[in-house]
């Protein structure tokens, strides 16, 4: 079935990554929560078909930056974003941008699996329906199946599509949320600590999924697990006190980082 | 290393590795110096001691390996910590080889006991061994400080040993040609000289490892050439 060997696929992807255009470009991004400044002139580019991990101590601004990428900060009162963020060539903070459409292009998966209290089928079909992505039932069935396939969940749920999504295990719920994000054909998927509520096996399944999704999507993941960043990402960005201190190839970051703060953080050192 | 880990037991594990490496280094150095002394003085008892000391070194290398594996599994080290542990494994293996070379020299003491070692050759061997042991001692000192700069300086010095070895090689060939009855002894001495020269190579390896541990990069440029005795075939005429 596999026409290319695993390593050939990896190679092709790595090649693609090294010539990767920047899917999203963040320029001088600053964020204020009222008087409090949470991000300081962050310049970070997100490469296409690449998993970019955001790491750093709690409160350093990882989630804040992630939320800038699909304007989730708009929903937070007193939150102000300055600087410029583009998706391909579109300035996402432009007046003319339809935020709902933006969030379809840049999907999000949260820390705690949050399926709707509806059936598995409805969890997936909700997004495509409100975005008008399907013409009829057969179309929708097709989207639901494809999304669950891509999220590696189809085999486990195909006989219970009309049971509640909240009846699934934690790991399955998280993959359901990823399937839900995929269903609206996003270009970028943002994940904020997607495995922190999962056990090691469920975590491994989600990581495997992230690994596969890289071929078709651009992924940005916030994680507090160094090992997870090392395992799933090709690029790593280290934040500290609201600043981006280093962005590098993940392999370099975990063998010989350039910045002392990165070094101290990933090695679990202080002082 | 200025900073410490949040988990102090992790620091203890890394300190254990570097302490054991230093101990191994001290013993390897002692064994090699004893082996050459035993050789030039035809001291069979000292040679025997070197041979039995090698067991301690082998054992230490295995213990360092076990501890490193456990530390990797337990801590999932990254960056400088990871390089530190991988470096410890490499250095332990170089030091274990140095011990083997000392042991091999010691074993030859018995073989050359009958004829003894000609004064001039003995001096040559001692000189070669002094150079190699200074190299080893210095690299162990650098290990204690983790200075990339000093490691680089040591790495370049290996040339001197190679030149000394080549000249000793030449001299041994001359002895053999003068009187075929010297051949057995000289062949053993040739192996001893080679053993000593190899100690210099291991010291150079260790210097490179220290450089890597400290900087995360391989030292630049070729290391000094190996000895040139391999081109001395047509020495006769
Ligand atoms: N909704 C909010 N209102 C006010 N301050 C916030 C809000 N969200 C985050 N912050 C503050 O912004 C900083 C960065 O937080 P966050 O982006 O959540 O960090 P991280 O995800 O790296 O842990 C923190 O100091 C946090 O207290
Ligand atoms: Mg967060």
The 10s digit of each residue's pLDDT in A96-155 is 999 999 999 999 999 999 999 999 999 999 999 998 888 899 999 999 999 999 898 999
Averaged over A252-259, what is the pLDDT? Answer: 94
- Do residues A217 and A193 lie in contact, with contact meaning Cβ atoms separated by under 8 Å? no
* Prediction pTM value: 0.83
- CB-based contacts of B155-160 (< 8 A; 24+ apart in sequence): B155/B204, B155/B207, B155/B208, B155/B211, B155/B219, B155/B223, B155/B224, B156/B224, B158/B200, B158/B201, B158/B203, B158/B204, B158/B223, B158/B224, B159/B224, B159/B225, B160/B131
Residue A17 domain-assigned (yes or no): no
pLDDT tens digits for range A213-239: 999 999 999 999 999 999 999 999 999
Pocket test for ligand 1, best of A61, A69, A76, A111 (most atoms within 8 A of CB): A61
Interface test with A, best of B4, B13, B79 (most A CBs within 10 A): B79
> Contact A254/B78, CB-based, under 8 Å?
yes
Decide if A83 contacts A27 (C-beta within 8 A). Answer: yes
Q: Whose CA is nearest to atom 1 of ligand 1?
A: A76
pLDDT tens, residue by residue, B135-174:
999 999 999 999 999 999 998 888 889 999 999 999 999 9
Assess if residue A2 is contained within a domain. Answer: no
Using the beta-carbon criterion (under 8 Å), do A257 and B6 form an inter-chain contact?
no
The CB-side HSE value for B64 (13 A sphere, CA atoms) comes to 30
- Map tokens 């990896």 to a residue: A10
Tens of pLDDT, residue by residue over B101-113, are 999 999 999 888 8
Q: What is the CATH number of the domain that holds A256?
A: 3.40.50.300
Q: Give the number of the atom of ligand 1 that is nearest the alpha carbon of residue A67.
A: 17
- Number of compact structural domains in chain A: 1
A27 inside domain? yes
Cα torsion angle, B120, B123, B125, B128, sign: negative
- Determine the average pLDDT of the residues in B117-123: 84
Return d(Cα B14, Cα B64) in angstroms, integer: 10
**Mean pLDDT across B172-190:** 92
In a domain, A5, yes or no: no
What is the phi/psi pair of residue A259, to 5°? -100, 135
Q: How confident is the model at residue A92 (pLDDT cuts 50, 70, 90)?
A: very high
Q: For residue B58, is pLDDT > 80?
A: yes
Q: Identify the domain containing residue A155 by its residue range.
A: 22-266
Cβ–Cβ below 8 Å for A267 and B79: yes
Statement: residue B227 has pLDDT above 90: no
- Report the phi/psi class of residue B104: left, alpha or beta, with left for phi > 0 and alpha for psi in -120 to 50: alpha
- The percentage of chain B sitting over the pLDDT mark of 90, rounded to a whole number, equals 76
Tens digits of residue pLDDT in A181-215? 999 999 999 999 999 988 899 899 899 999 999 99
Separation in Å, CA of A263 to nearest CA in chain B: 7
> What token pair was written down for A66?
């992630």
Q: Is the pLDDT of residue B73 over 80?
A: yes
State chain A's maximal CA–CA distance in angstroms: 61
Determine, yes or no, domain membership for A1: no
pLDDT number for residue B237: 33
* Over residues A37-58, mean pLDDT: 97
The pLDDT score that the predictor gives to residue B48 is 97
Q: How far apart are CA A26 and CA A47, in angstroms?
A: 11
Q: What is the ipTM score, two decimals?
A: 0.74
Split at pLDDT 50, 70, 90, the class of A5 is low
Output DSSP code: residue B66.
H
Counting Cα atoms < 13 Å in the Cβ hemisphere of A93 gives 17
Does a structural domain hold residue A14?
no
If one residue of A32, A33, A76 were mutated to test the ligand 1 pocket, choosing by the most ligand atoms within 8 A of its CB, it would be A33
Write the Ramachandran bin of A152: left for phi over 0, alpha for psi from -120 to 50, otherwise beta. Answer: left
- Let me know if residue A12 belongs to a domain: no
pLDDT of the residue at B60? 97
DSSP assignment of B155-183: HHHHHHHHHHHHHHHHHHHHHHHH-GGGH
The span from the CA of B173 to the CA of B211, in Å, is 38
- Asked whether residue A271 is domain-assigned, the answer is no
Q: What is the pLDDT of residue B100?
A: 97
Which ligand is nearest the CA of A110, by number?
A: 2
Q: How confident is the model at residue B119 (pLDDT cuts 50, 70, 90)?
A: confident
Q: Residue B56 pLDDT more than 70? A: yes
């Amino acid at each position: 079935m596999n026409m290319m060997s695993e390593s050939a696929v990896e190679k092709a992807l790595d090649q693609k990554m090294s010539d990767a255009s920047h899917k999203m470009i963040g320029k001088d991004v600053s964020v204020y929560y009222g008087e409090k400044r949470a991000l300081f002139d962050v310049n970070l580019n997100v490469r296409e078909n690449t998993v970019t991990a955001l790491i750093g101590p709690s409160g350093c601004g990882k989630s804040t930056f992630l939320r800038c990428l699909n304007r989730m900060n708009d929903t937070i009162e007193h939150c102000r974003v300055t600087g410029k963020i583009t998706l391909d060539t579109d300035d996402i903070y432009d007046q003319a941008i339809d935020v709902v459409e933006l969030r379809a292009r840049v999907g999000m998966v949260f820390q705690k699996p949050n399926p709707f209290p509806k059936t598995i089928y409805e969890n997936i079909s909700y997004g495509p329906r409100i975005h008008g992505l399907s013409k009829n039932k057969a179309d929708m069935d097709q989207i639901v199946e494809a999304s669950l396939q891509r999220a590696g969940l189809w085999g486990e749920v195909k006989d219970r599509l009309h049971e509640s999504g909240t009846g699934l295990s934690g790991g399955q719920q998280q993959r359901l949320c990823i399937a839900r994000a995929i269903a609206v054909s996003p270009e970028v998927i943002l994940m904020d600590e997607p495995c922190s509520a999962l056990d090691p096996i469920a975590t491994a399944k989600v990581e495997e999924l992230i690994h596969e999704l890289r071929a078709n999507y651009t992924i940005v993941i916030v994680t507090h697990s160094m090992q997870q960043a090392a395992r799933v990402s090709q690029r790593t960005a280290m934040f500290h006190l609201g600043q981006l201190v280093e962005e590098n190839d993940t392999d370099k970051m975990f063998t010989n980082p350039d910045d002392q703060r990165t070094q101290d953080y990933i090695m679990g050192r202080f002082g | 290393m200025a900073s410490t880990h949040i988990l102090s037991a992790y620091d203890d594990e890394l300190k254990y590795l570097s302490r054991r490496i230093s101990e191994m280094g001290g013993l390897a150095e002692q064994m090699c110096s004893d082996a050459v002394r035993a050789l030039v003085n035809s001291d069979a008892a000292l040679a025997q001691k070197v041979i039995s000391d090698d067991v301690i070194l082998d054992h230490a290398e295995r213990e360092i390996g076990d501890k490193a594996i456990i530390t990797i599994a337990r801590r999932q080290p990254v960056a400088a910590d990871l390089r530190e542990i991988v470096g410890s494994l490499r250095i332990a293996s170089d030091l274990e080889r140095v011990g083997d070379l000392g042991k091999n020299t010691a074993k030859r003491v018995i073989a050359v006991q009958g004829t003894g070692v000609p004064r001039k050759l003995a001096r040559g061997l001692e000189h070669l061994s002094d150079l190699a042991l200074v190299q080893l001692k210095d690299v162990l000192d650098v290990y204690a400080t983790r200075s990339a700069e000093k490691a680089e300086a040591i790495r370049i010095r290996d040339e001197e040993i190679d030149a000394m070895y080549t000249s000793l090689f030449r001299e041994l060939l001359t002895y053999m040609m003068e009187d075929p009855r010297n051949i057995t002894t000289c062949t053993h001495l040739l192996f001893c000289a080679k053993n000593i020269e190899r100690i210099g190579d291991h010291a150079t390896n260790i210097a490179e490892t220290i450089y890597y541990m400290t900087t995360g990069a391989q030292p630049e440029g070729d290391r000094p050439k190996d000895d040139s005795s391999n081109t001395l075939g047509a020495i006769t005429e």
